[in-house]
With several copies, the nearest count.
Chain A
Amino acid sequence: MSVTITDSDISPGDLATAFYADNPHGAVTTFAGFVRDFNTQGEVETLHLECYVEMAERVLSDLGAEARQRFGLKSWQIVHRFGSLSSTTPIVFVATSADHRAEAFSACEFVMDTLKTDAPFWKREDFEGEQQWVTVAARDVDRRRRWDTKDPVS
């Protein structure tokens, strides 16, 4: 049960290893997101992630607690980078553990879907000398919205 917001490099492998050691429960799901080297318009050189740190800590702590309650998690962890990142750099790591896989999977996906639209980070892509703020993808809004009504585990 922890949230880390940092502008230092994160290591999803080390984070997963530590999470497994502390939480060898029946079902452990993790998600790791890495900077892609492309967007809809072409090659991306650098991704800049701006963050409202105090708010991110609060939002992600509340989100973890909500996921725990909603899906009966035994444990969870959320780690999120900010700052300037080159392609293939890890951005985010989420881990959830439960007695059964349905809950672990749903909770991890719920956290990721919610974090995308509700956590105070703003992505700016630098490519071919231009800087462009990333807008919210319609599919991300849709994925976030389904948790408002969806059965907790399906």
Chain B
Amino acid sequence: MAIRVKFFSLIREAVETEELTLNFDAEISTVAGLKSFLGERGEAWVEALSHPNLIQAVNQRVVFQEEAINDGDDVAFFPPMTGG
């Protein structure tokens, strides 16, 4: 399956990546699984994705990390929002 992963603000800077398109077999089924998978890229990724205030969204909605991921989903990681 294929998913898009986006990173914003502090998290984007920490992993030096704005966006990834990932293709993989279905062994990753949740956001938590995706975080572990991305952590294999190095210490900076592990640290950024274990940030205590990390927020994750699937298809533009904030979710818990137990949320399921399906083919075609947009996943995003970012720190607390500061709009307005």
Chain A residues proximal to chain B, CB less than 8 Å: 33, 50, 52, 54-56, 58-59, 80, 91-92, 101, 112, 115-124, 133-136
Contacts and interface: CB of A to CB of B under 8 A. Distances in A.
9 contacts: A52-B6, A59-B60, A112-B84, A116-B84, A117-B81, A119-B83, A121-B83, A122-B8, A133-B82
B36 to A, nearest CB: 23
A58 B57 CA distance: 12
A112 B6 CA distance: 26
B80 interface: yes
Nearest to A118: B81
With most chain B CB atoms within 10 A of its CB, the pick from A80, A91, A101, A123 is A123
B49 interface: no
Nearest to B53: A136
B23 to A, nearest CB: 21
B8 A50 contact: yes
B60 A115 contact: no
A92 B12 CA distance: 24
Contact of B57 (A55, A91, A135): A55
With most chain A CB atoms within 10 A of its CB, the pick from B8, B62, B84 is B84
B75 to A, nearest CB: 11
A90 to B, nearest CB: 12
With most chain A CB atoms within 10 A of its CB, the pick from B6, B78, B81 is B81
Contacts of B78: 52, 120, 122
A91 B82 CA distance: 12
A119 B81 contact: yes
Contacts of B79: 122, 133
B9 A122 contact: yes
B76 interface: yes
